[in-house]
Structure 1
Amino acid sequence: MKISVRNLEPTKVRLTITVEKDEFDPYLDAARKEIGKQVNVPGFRKGHVPGRIIDQRIGFASVAGEAVNSGVPELYSKALSEKELHAMAQPEIDVKEVPESANDDTKLKFTAEVEIRPQFELPELEGMEIEVAKPEVSDEDVDKRLDNLRQRFGTLVSVDRPAQKGDYASIDLEAVIDGKSADSQEGVSYELGSNTMLDGLDEALDGLSAGEETTFEGTLEAGEHQGEKAQIKVKVNSVKAEELPELNDDFAQEASEFDTLEELKADVRKQCEQDAEGRQATDARDAFIAKLEEDLDIPVPKGLKESMVEDQLKNANKDAKSASKEEKEEAEKTVEKELRDQMVLDALAEKLQVSVTQVDVTNFLASIAQQYGMDPSAFINAIVQNGQLASAVQEVGRSKGMLAGMRAVTFKDPDGKVLDLSRFLGEDEAQGEDVAEQDESVQAASAAAAVADQLTHAEETEVAEAED
């Protein structure tokens, strides 16, 4: 097989692949056997029709077409491997020449244009030191967690005064467009200051008492008139304030297994310290990746970047046309970092010769399925059927490579004290998955959500068809 490579861009190449006759013949023979299983030829048992008869009866063009469909992807992969190229996207294949008969000396020739990972040299890990900030826990952190605990045991009580930030109001809403009611809701419970509904709602409610109403202009966030401006009529039915229990020994006994408030506070501080250590491990991960990329100028594949930016905007309910310049720039910045991180971690996994087992991938997909409340077996089958298994393998490889790399360097705090991150990194590849799982979850979230949506839609369709 002859392979020539032409660089079209720093991250894009065109492969021209010419396949020798003896390399293409096995694909032709396999195609003849496959076709022979599907056709009936008088005088021959199904599946035992000689190849020359298949060529005569079915036509060599059909045989060659089947051989090209099955052979080109495999030959393309071999060409990538031989030239040590790492594809970042699906190739554009163009078949140029195909033999017209079994005796034709014409060689199979095709081109493949594909975006690739650019070449770069990772720094040596031996002797590398990375500084990570200390995990600080303040009295304010403890108080905040205690306040959150108090809120879990808080009660809402009606108040005879104007609504203010932090109150809960029961409201009726009506959206009016061109003098006609476009949407309405009644008895909605809303926390003032949460900014979880319509823009302008918090300002409109502030200062209103039960029984009062007002109108403001807002943009509808969902429904048939999503994105349209409307006059929003809002009426306050009631106002309730949150009443929190006092911080004392009685509260400690009610909210925990401790007898005194001091014991509860000590336990809360311990939890804060553990969380701080977790944040430090995450900071160490980010600092490690940043250190690897510190002196590298890594271009990103343009086509893949554009596609990912579109997906990023779509996830934010935007598109390339409606998004502002700032939103596009933010999406591009996010995507470029994600792509560079992925390419660096892929290169690191290869450098460290990380292997990914079936158990690794199964455990990873099962953990993602649990996060989405899905049956692990159904989720894994859906991933396979949707052709996303290779992406899952790649994500696991990146995470294992990252953990192995982090174990190979030294992390220190600003005072020069060596940090022990073994709780998060483990001592070998079979341990220490906390930090990696966070990264895997982020990378797999959109794919998992897409599969979950597809399965949910399929179930809804089955139910609807059964009802019909």
Structure 2
Amino acid sequence: MSAEMITKENSEVIIKLAVDSAEFGKGVDKAYKKLRGRFNIPGFRKGKAPKKVIEMNYGKGIFFEEAINIVFPDAYEKAVKELELDPVAMPEIEEVEQVEDGQDLVMKVKIAVKPEVELGEYKGVEIEKKEVSVEDEQVEKDIEVKRENNARYINVEDRGIQNDDMTIIDFKGFVDGEEFEGGAAENYNLVVGSNTFIPGFEEQLIGASVGDELDVNVSFPESYHAENLAGKPALFKVSVKEIKFKELPELDDEFAKDISEFDTIDELKADIKKQLEEEAKKQAENEMKNELVEKIVEAATVEVPEVMVENEADSMLRDFEMQLRYQGLDMDSYMKYMGKNRDELKDEMKEQALKNVKRSLVLEKIYKTEGIEVSDEEFEKEIEEMAKTYNMEVEKVKSSLRPQDMESIRESMLVKKAVEMLMDSAKIA
């Protein structure tokens, strides 16, 4: 195998790739063994005809195409290493210049590679310091959330439903006089005023008492996800089984003792303020890092190949689909609800995909230029932290990681170290 670079224009390389005749001959033999069962030759059982006989009947090059498919991957991999290329997509055979029995196989191959990055100013870049402050109102808001989380619901017998009450109801829904799928439930917990149901449903429950049966008339929104119900009037027959009101705990020292390790409400508030300040500082630091990296990326020059943007958009689309699954949704239902298809959704992601790729290329150029590395000890420590996060044994985490996963982790660590180096050198005004 030999490889020669013919042209290189930023992110596109054309190479001449030659596979020696002996190696190509082995590929032809493998192609014959793979395909011989497809040929019917008179006088021979199917799959038993000699290679030469098949070639006499179908032409000398009958096995060449499959032979090229067989020998190309290994030859391409060696060429990439020999020419020190960094491909970002599958190669394309532009032309087979020579393919003859007993001769070398010669091909022109087009390869999309990572583009050259010309860095602008990246050290000593000026960014604005983000001031951090936590107001008493934020502390009070956090306290109220804790009160809500520790509220209890008490049964009500002597009055009708009020806003914020929790009700337990049975209901059946009808459209055009017929029950519809998914429109019925028993012992359903509903907080009135939570806007969980169709607009107008919860308001019509106010005033109803335990044991009441009532008709609730609503209309499905025009944008409702189920097309057969969108915009249609519906009748729900509702039976009220229980009413409960929410009782918030008193905001006193006992409350602090119940939900924390502190003895007083003042100590609890002080701790909440400290935590909020730490979170605010982290957020401010991340915002400063993002601002810094954006400036450095803007100052760099790089022509991002379309294939890299396409690949990143595909990756973003897969991640989005996984997030939907975690939320109990599926992509098809989401797209139907939004009135979009996968291609439209992907197109919307391309602008951010381009930013992501350019950012990645620039930061990679920086950590390579600066000679930033990740030691084996640092990598081991990262794996140990992952094991703690997922509550797994370190060896189990290691065994679950593929080589590309390990490489991705190392790359993330390199990027993180590069950003820290940039922050250390930045001028914070």
Same fold (TM over 0.5): yes
Aligned pairs, number: 373
Q: Which has the higher contact order (CA 8 A, sep 6+)?
A: 2
Distance 1:180 1:247 in 2: 47
Say which is worse superposed, 258-267 or 326-335, in terms of deviation: 326-335
Distance 1:333 1:140 in 2: 38
Distance 2:426 2:73 in 1: 54
Aligned amino acid, residue 3 of structure 1: M
The answer for the alignment partner of 1:312 in structure 2 is 317
Question: Does the 8 A contact of 1:97 with 1:108 survive in 2?
Answer: yes
User: Over residues 1-28 of structure 1, what are the superposed CA-to-partner deviations in whole Å (9 max), with x where a residue is unaligned?
Assistant: 2112365xx8x52x3322356xx58966
Question: Does the 8 A contact of 1:172 with 1:236 survive in 2?
Answer: yes
1:131 to 128, 139, 152: 128
Offset, 1:280: 2.0
The answer for the alignment partner of 1:323 in structure 2 is 340
Task: Report matched runs for 1:296-445 at 5 Å.
Answer: 296=300, 300-306=304-310, 308-309=312-313, 312=317, 315=321, 317=331, 318-319=334-335, 322-323=339-340, 331-356=349-374, 384=402, 389-390=403-404, 393-394=407-408, 396-410=410-424, 416=429
Distance 1:99 1:17 in 2: 17
1:215 maps to 2:218: yes
The answer for the alignment partner of 2:276 in structure 1 is 272
Question: Does the 8 A contact of 1:298 with 1:340 survive in 2?
Answer: yes
Offset, 1:139: 0.5
The answer for the alignment partner of 2:299 in structure 1 is 295
Distance 2:173 2:310 in 1: 37
Aligned amino acid, residue 220 of structure 2: E
Task: Report matched runs for 1:101-140 at 5 Å.
Answer: 101=101, 103-104=102-103, 106-114=104-112, 116-140=113-137
Offset, 1:268: 1.4
1:284 maps to 2:288: yes
2:247 to 243, 247, 268: 243
Distance 1:332 1:173 in 2: 45
Offset, 1:142: 1.0
Aligned amino acid, residue 112 of structure 1: K
Distance 2:171 2:93 in 1: 55
Say which is worse superposed, 236-245 or 300-309, in terms of deviation: 300-309
Question: Does the 8 A contact of 2:18 with 2:107 survive in 1?
Answer: no
User: Over residues 68-118 of structure 1, what are the superposed CA-to-partner deviations in whole Å (9 max), with x where a residue is unaligned?
Assistant: 232223323544x25xxx5443444557256544x52x343241343x444
CA 1:176 to 1:143, structure 2 compared with 1: closer, same or farther past 3 Å? same
Distance 1:359 1:319 in 2: 46
1:144 to 99, 121, 141: 141
Offset, 1:271: 1.3
Question: Does the 8 A contact of 2:6 with 2:15 survive in 1?
Answer: yes
TM-score between the two structures when normalised by the length of structure 2? 0.67
The answer for the alignment partner of 2:6 in structure 1 is 4
Offset, 1:343: 2.6
User: Over residues 307-326 of structure 1, what are the superposed CA-to-partner deviations in whole Å (9 max), with x where a residue is unaligned?
Assistant: 65465396363559932999
Percent sequence identity over aligned pairs: 20
- In structure 2, the gaps of 5 or more residues are 32-50, 56-62, 325-330
Question: Does the 8 A contact of 1:345 with 1:398 survive in 2?
Answer: no
CA 1:243 to 1:337, structure 2 compared with 1: closer, same or farther past 3 Å? farther
Offset, 1:380: 6.0
CA 1:301 to 1:207, structure 2 compared with 1: closer, same or farther past 3 Å? farther
Q: Name the Cα RMSD after superposition.
A: 4.7
Distance 2:6 2:179 in 1: 67
Distance 1:236 1:4 in 2: 79
CA 1:90 to 1:68, structure 2 compared with 1: closer, same or farther past 3 Å? closer
- In structure 1, the gaps of 5 or more residues are 36-54, 417-468
Question: Does the 8 A contact of 1:92 with 1:113 survive in 2?
Answer: yes
The answer for the alignment partner of 1:447 in structure 2 is none
CA 1:258 to 1:410, structure 2 compared with 1: closer, same or farther past 3 Å? same
Question: Does the 8 A contact of 1:173 with 1:233 survive in 2?
Answer: no
Task: Report matched runs for 1:163-242 at 5 Å.
Answer: 163-164=162-163, 166-172=164-170, 174=172, 176=174, 179-183=178-182, 184-192=184-192, 200-201=198-199, 203-209=200-206, 210=208, 211=212, 212=214, 213-218=216-221, 229=230, 233-234=235-236, 235=238, 237=240, 238-242=242-246
Offset, 1:359: 6.9
Question: Does the 8 A contact of 1:220 with 1:228 survive in 2?
Answer: yes
Offset, 1:260: 1.5
Question: Does the 8 A contact of 2:313 with 2:350 survive in 1?
Answer: yes
Aligned amino acid, residue 323 of structure 1: K
Question: Does the 8 A contact of 2:374 with 2:413 survive in 1?
Answer: no
Say which is worse superposed, 359-368 or 146-155, in terms of deviation: 359-368
Distance 2:122 2:352 in 1: 26
TM-score between the two structures when normalised by the length of structure 1? 0.63
